[in-house]
Structure 1
């Protein structure tokens, strides 16, 4: 779904409720995405004071590989998106808006909902995702090694600091 800037300046506000199939685009742009259900998008786009406001909600479910075993994991997404667009001409005359990082500069006379939804879904992909049974499993380990979670590592470092508080700790084991 796309809107021309002329259409938006005339209508001022357009509500939408769409089901988008962006699976192909998402899989092409991210190797992490194995599958994507149809995306429910509802919201509105409005024009006011030379700015275009795009506010909508995304609901879908992605299939991503587990960070640990690469098994497919269903990952539900439900996010609210608020974006502000402006033309280059609008920003040239207003330095205050130009300094604001939240405004997206339009390089063409069209605002594309598909592009916005795709970009925001890609930003929502977590760095770590685990299957249900993997969350309870112990981390892998070997004879002289083990994988630690960040919390366990931080605790281990704290314990080491506490052990070395005595000035005579360096003499431990000297006369064994």
Structure 2
């Protein structure tokens, strides 16, 4: 919860502060794997849950925050500088999702200091990435699937990652 004694719950005309805070905390968790961020986001959502139904459309930011907190954050990392890399990036960006971030790196920039903390050890060590090939990698819940080198496969796998709650990544984090 934000450190203000009385913060309005409803969106009018700007998004409600506590709901925005929950979104930010969940995104920070998705990038850092720092559990305290997720705990604070969940706590904020639980405190406000009983009020949401009373506000209808004026609780829209709360609804968006609920999606962020209830679904795993998905990161699509594109590695490469050629036309295929551009196509993979474009494909990943055309699939709308609140819980997704698309990152693109040149092959020589896939090093820990340029990556989100949660991916810093995993991505540089993946097959294909180490060889400097153009690939897309879908990561969810701090695990990554094997690298993808085709646009159609990326579409299919990203759709599964976004639509199936039981979708899991077989390559564990580093």
Q: Bin the TM-score by the shorter chain.
A: under 0.3
Q: TM-score, normalised by structure 1?
A: 0.23
Q: Which has the higher strand share?
A: 1
Q: TM-score, normalised by structure 2?
A: 0.23
Q: Which has the higher helix share?
A: 2
